[in-house]
Amino acid sequence: MTLRGERQADFAYQAVYRYMISLINEVSTDTRVKLPSLRQLAGRLNVSISTVQYAYSLLEKEGRVYSVAKSGYYAWPRSTSPLAWVGGDLLDRLYAAARRPGMVVLSGDEPALLASLDGALLRLERELVRQYPGHLQPWSQPCGVWELRAALAARYTSSPTRCWHADDVYIGADLRGVLDILIDVLGLKGTTVIVESPCDWLVLRLLQDAGVRIIELPWTAEGRLDLATLDQWLCHEPVQLLLLSSKVSLPSGIALSTHERLAVAQMLEQHGCWLLENDTFGELGFMEPQAALRELVNPERLMVFSSFEKVLGSEAPYGYLLSRRMSSELQRQFLLRSFRLSSIRQRAIARLYQSGRMDLHLRALRLQLHEQAQQMCQRLDLHLGDQVAYRAPVAGAAFWLGVTRAVDMRQVFQRLLSQHVVIAPGELFSLSGLHQQHLRVSHTFHGHPDLDIALAAISDALRHAQKG
């Protein structure tokens, strides 16, 4: 089969995506099935490896496939029986359940489900294809096209001393790929890294798989960062890196106070420790934006990572990294990974920034998220009442709920699956057993459920899973 003759209205990755959907739909067993490698599919379909990689990243985001380090991609089993999901890795079970037809998926945190720019991106692409026909497009730029790197550099620049240049920006196929490179370049295997907790499970799993020693710094019950414990660890542990959110820590929904941000910056300077800042939700705060942590630390010991997906939607899965240091090694690693990303799509995203369209979109999205979060507060109070305690989120698209009576959260998870509702148990956001009495529930979700029925099911599951 070849894709060179596909209809012109399609881009190559869309044809690969459709082919993979048909391939996955042929899987009818209750066991995982290994899918063709990137190289095999590229040869079979006569497209570039990067095109296949892009299609796979979309499928992985949708929960249709998953990747195993040094092994490849696998299709999820198609069993429809919730009993088939009992046991095994909890994250695997969550992903498998989330892709089942008819499930109410409340486990995610996908702001762009409310308002994506997929349509605008595709229209811009069609315009750019006419301006940049294939034979006039430049050779592959493995770190990303200059226009998008320059747009991001300008957006992150805040002063003459805290400025970024296009050469400081690196764009990869997705956030996972960018973080993989970062872990390699920093040589984190066997080193000690402090991460705020709860922490995104993608970041935790990648660090764990890379052999990093992880120290989890949980937020206190009062919503504060334990500065004394952080200082003690920086003094007595060989900490190479501190990983914190730029403005609001999600899923907990807590923001560092001005005093805490200054204290953290002073500690990092005193101990010569690097800051790795997670800016994934940095532009999705509901209120007046506060200064990011990166504005207070030494820019020579700072790296920032983020992605476009949370604000633009699934058509823009690219991840990116900003760093002033180790440019030669970063460039080499991006070149080795062969991220041959669509230059047209990257230019289309750059146009969204340059035209001001991105700012208009973000203002509208933040407003929608805030309104929907307020409505979710009312529904939570109505259906869950004193069963949970929570802080109203100030960013993002999810609530971090703590149960007020001890429950077996895995039993809650399993019971809800039998009622076609998917939540994210809190233990997924820790590697050391923290947050077992928490859950994340999204207020933007896949499907068109009666949310009141889903929340009533959560209330019932919490009641049945009480301990003692």
The pLDDT value given to residue 27 = 60
Q: Buried b vs exposed e over 410-447: b needs ≥16 C-beta within 10 Å?
A: bebbbbbbebbbbbbbbbbbbbeebbbbbbbbbbbbbe
The pLDDT value given to residue 31 = 60
Residue 268 vs residue 24, higher pLDDT: 268
114 in a structural domain: no
The pLDDT value given to residue 396 = 92
Q: What percent of the chain has pLDDT over 90?
A: 56
Q: Please state the rounded mean pLDDT for residues 95-119.
A: 84
Verify that 150 and 227 share a domain, yes or no: yes
Verify that 227 and 192 share a domain, yes or no: yes
pLDDT in tens, 412-459: 999 999 898 999 999 999 999 999 999 999 998 755 568 899 999 999
309 in a structural domain: yes
Verify that 143 and 242 share a domain, yes or no: yes
* 77-81, 223-227, 304-308: the lowest-pLDDT one: 77-81
Verify that 222 and 146 share a domain, yes or no: yes
Q: Please state the rounded mean pLDDT for residues 90-105.
A: 83
Task: Return the CATH number at 35.
Answer: 1.10.10.10
Residue 4 banded pLDDT, cuts 50, 70, 90: very low
Which residue, 316, 333, 355, sits at the end of a domain? 355
pLDDT in tens, 34-73: 888 888 888 888 888 878 888 888 787 766 787 776 678 8
Task: Return the CATH number at 379.
Answer: 3.90.1150.10
374 in a structural domain: yes
Provide the residue range defining the domain that includes 304: 121-355
Q: How many angstroms separate the CA atoms of 358 and 312, rounded?
A: 9
CA 150 from chain centre, in angstroms, equals 23
98 in a structural domain: no
Task: Return the CATH number at 316.
Answer: 3.40.640.10
Q: How far, in Å, are 299, 308, 360, 435 from residue 156 at the CA level?
A: 12, 14, 18, 33
For residue 199, pLDDT beyond 50: yes
Verify that 256 and 145 share a domain, yes or no: yes
Question: Are 238 and 269 a contacting pair, CB within 8 Å?
Answer: no
Residue 11 banded pLDDT, cuts 50, 70, 90: low
Residue with structure tokens 């320059």?
Answer: 150
Residue 330 banded pLDDT, cuts 50, 70, 90: very high
Verify that 144 and 272 share a domain, yes or no: yes
> What does residue 243 show for φ and ψ, rounded to 5 degrees?
-110, 115
Verify that 192 and 263 share a domain, yes or no: yes
Verify that 337 and 214 share a domain, yes or no: yes
Q: Please state the rounded mean pLDDT for residues 116-141.
A: 76
Residue 105 vs residue 12, higher pLDDT: 105
* 4-8, 351-355, 383-387: the lowest-pLDDT one: 4-8
The pLDDT value given to residue 350 = 96
Q: What's the chain's Rg over C-alpha atoms?
A: 22
**Would you say the C-alpha torsion 155, 161, 167, 172 has a positive or negative sign?**
negative
360 contacts: CB under 8 Å, gap ≥ 6: none
111 in a structural domain: no
Which residue, 49, 78, 107, sits at the end of a domain? 78
pLDDT in tens, 341-364: 788 889 999 999 999 999 999 999
107 in a structural domain: no
For residue 307, pLDDT beyond 90: yes
Verify that 410 and 382 share a domain, yes or no: yes
Verify that 430 and 318 share a domain, yes or no: no
> What rounded mean pLDDT belongs to the chain?
87
Verify that 142 and 281 share a domain, yes or no: yes
Verify that 317 and 331 share a domain, yes or no: yes
pLDDT in tens, 132-169: 776 555 556 889 999 999 999 999 999 988 999 999 99
423 in a structural domain: yes
Rounded to two decimals, the pTM is 0.84
Residue 43 pairs in a beta bridge with: none
393 in a structural domain: yes
Residue 322 banded pLDDT, cuts 50, 70, 90: very high
Token pair, residue 186, equals 């920093």
How many domains are there within the chain? 3
Which residue, 335, 355, 375, sits at the end of a domain? 355
